Amino acid sequence: MTASLSPSSFHSRRTARSLAPRRLLAALGLVAGLVSAASAQTVMRINISIGKDSHQGVAIDTFAKEVEQRTAGRYKIETFYAGSLGGERESIESVQLGTQALTLTSTGPVPNFVPDARILDIPFLFRDKAHAHAVLDGPIGQEMSKKFEPKGFKVLAWCDNGVRHMTNSKRDVNLPDDLKGLKMRTMENPVHVAAYKSLGIVTTPMAFPEVFTALQQGTVDGQENPLSVIMAAKFDQVQKHVSLTGHVFSPAVFLMNKSMFDKLSADDQKAFMEAAKAGTVANRARVDADDAKGVEYLRSKGVTVIDNIDKAKFAAKMAPVLADFEKQFGKDNIDRIRNTK
């Protein structure tokens, strides 16, 4: 006996069958929407040449977090550390070519790309960190930033690498003559090389990722870097003499490929700039913290730290090369920096 369907039950089943394709289409539409949203996220890379637990690491970590928040997740910044994408010079070149979107670098290798930036690396140019910040965050820093743009870079913000000091594995350095004959790794920077040669140092320009091994193997006797870098790179394991010469304030800079920056909307450009400023705040706070604890930390590792250096004697020894820098860059330009309040 065949059961018959009532009109109402037949209608219910027909309605259910007609709704099924619609539900399927709706589900597919939801999936497509999620895929579209995911694919709308743009991923960019930024890197540093030293480790994550450092003044530069906190800078790019803060930057990455801020970009993602300020763009509601439409941009994601992948962070790389310890030279995993190359040294500073190689990374700057990648950003210039557009094979990498961003990098955070000291100004050490920058003059190879933007020659005008050499002036920032003159020894004993800045009185202290506060003076350097006033210069970099003010009109002079803004003018310098503009000089990067014809070379293919957008400066997002200036931050700190720190105040540089001398380290070596041979002897205590109290006076300029104590440096004579020491084979020292220097940054790939013509201003640094010329200045250190005037102290009798045998200069050896070298990319940062190579430095620890070169010190460990005795290829070079020493190097010079801020306390933040000395600690982050664990140079205390291979350098037992540190002298707080404070001979150079070393800026750092957030760089972005100019074409990529120009393609951002006005709101996103602002988001990237503000994120870099937040990174700078975190970076400078970490540099201050490292400077405050650095001497005690190094001494706890068995390092001899000479902290009563007469910097005037080092500046006097460099007098001829500093006079040459005045000719190269213009005394008025240097005085403008020195006289900034």
pLDDT, average across residues 157-180: 98
pLDDT tens-digit readout, 239-281: 999 999 999 999 999 999 999 999 999 999 999 999 999 999 9
Q: Is the pLDDT of residue 213 over 70?
A: yes
Say whether pLDDT at 36 is over 60: no
Domain boundaries, the chain: 34-338
Residue 44 has pLDDT above 90, yes or no: yes
SS3 243: strand
CA angle at 133 for the pair 185 and 299, rounded to the nearest 5°: 45
Backbone CA torsion sign across 66, 69, 70, 75: positive
Q: What is the pLDDT of residue 40?
A: 82
Alpha-helix residue ranges (DSSP H) falling in the chain: 7-39, 55-70, 88-97, 129-136, 139-146, 190-197, 211-217, 227-232, 258-263, 266-300, 311-317, 319-329, 331-338
List the end-to-end C-alpha distance of the chain, in Å, as a whole number: 103
Identify the pLDDT of residue 2: 43
Task: Specify the pLDDT at position 148.
Answer: 98
3 state SS of 207: coil
Which residues, at least 6 apart from 172, have a Cβ–Cβ distance to it below 8 Å? 178, 241, 243, 304, 306
State the pairing for strand pair 241-257/153-168.
antiparallel
Q: CATH classification of 34-338, choosing from 3.40.190.170, 3.20.20.20, 3.90.1150.10, 3.40.640.10?
A: 3.40.190.170
Q: Side chain identity at 11, as an amino acid letter? A: H
- Is the pLDDT confidence value at 108 over 90? yes
In this predicted structure, what is the pLDDT of residue 22? 55
